[in-house]
């Protein structure tokens, strides 16, 4: 497994090496040894979650206030355009974003440290299954959100959203949440 840095400190891309043959493929989607060497660890309270989204669904931008949460995100079925925004006020990349395609072909995963906002849009014409490994239990009182189409962020969505949740459609602007 190759682990590489991005332009946002702490955000890492994990790239496994799938083994393919006439029967299909086998790939390791997570390896604790190389991950720990890169600073990715999970405590006893971690959780695994999965969502399924229809084509054109956009989810995000979501995050957690306070201590936040770290998560490892991958797409087990289909393809998504995954976006993270640095919401750490003391970060030199505060307000900057990183975006990448996650799919069931390359099996890349994205490590998102605490303090970032996350969202994705489903690409293609098939549903997508997204798997999350989150480093702590969910605290709904710490949920925060920012509009996916905030002009300040100018995010490079690869597909216009066809479906949003009521929560995402009513999300506040970056300035309303962060005052900048």
pLDDT in the model for residue 30: 86
Residue reference for tokens 């936040």: 68
Residue 160, domain extent: 2-178
Residue reference for tokens 């970056």: 174
Confidence of residue 119 (pLDDT cuts 50, 70, 90): very high
pLDDT in the model for residue 130: 96
State pTM to two decimals: 0.91
Confidence of residue 110 (pLDDT cuts 50, 70, 90): very high
Query: Pairing mode, if any, of strands 19-21 and 71-77?
Result: unpaired
Q: Which carries the bigger pLDDT value, residue 44 or residue 98?
A: 98
Q: For residue 46, what are the CA distances in angstroms to 59, 71, 138, 143?
A: 22, 9, 9, 17
pLDDT in the model for residue 106: 92
Contacts of 148 (CB under 8 A, 6+ apart): 58, 60, 61, 119, 155, 157, 161, 164, 168, 171
118 forms beta bridges with 62, 84
The tens digit of pLDDT for each residue in 1-29 reads: 899 999 999 999 999 888 888 878 888 88
Q: What is the number of structural domains in the chain?
A: 1
pLDDT in the model for residue 32: 84
Give the 3-state DSSP-derived string for the chain, with helices as H, strands as E and coil as C.
Answer: CEEEECCCCCCEEEECCCEEECCEEECCCCCHHHHHHCCCCCCCCCEEEEEEECCCEEEEEEEECCCCCCEEEEEEECEEEEEEEECCCCCCCCCCEEEEEEECCCCCEEEECCCEEEEEEECCCCCEEEEEEECCCCCHHHEEECCCCCCCCCCCCCCCCCECCHHHHCCCCHHHHHCC
Query: 11: domain CATH number?
Result: 2.60.120.10
The catalytic residue positions are 62, 132
pLDDT in the model for residue 120: 98
């Amino acid at each position: 497994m190759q682990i590489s840095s991005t332009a946002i400190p702490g955000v890492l891309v994990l790239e496994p090496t799938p083994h393919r043959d006439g029967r299909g493929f086998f790939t390791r989607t997570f390896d604790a040894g190389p991950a720990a060497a890169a600073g990715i660890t999970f405590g006893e309270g971690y959780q695994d979650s999965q969502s399924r989204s229809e084509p054109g669904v956009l989810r995000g931008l979501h995050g957690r206030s306070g201590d936040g949460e770290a998560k490892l995100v991958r797409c087990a079925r289909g393809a998504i355009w995954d976006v993270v925004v640095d919401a750490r006020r003391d970060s030199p990349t505060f307000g900057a974003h990183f975006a990448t395609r996650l799919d069931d072909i390359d099996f890349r995963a994205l490590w998102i440290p605490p303090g970032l906002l996350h969202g994705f849009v489903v690409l293609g014409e098939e549903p997508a299954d997204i798997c999350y490994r989150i480093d702590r239990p969910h605290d709904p009182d710490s949920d925060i959100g920012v509009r996916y189409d905030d002009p300040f962020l100018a995010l490079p969505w690869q597909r216009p959203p066809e479906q949003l949740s009521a929560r995402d459609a009513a999300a506040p602007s970056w300035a309303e949440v962060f005052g900048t």
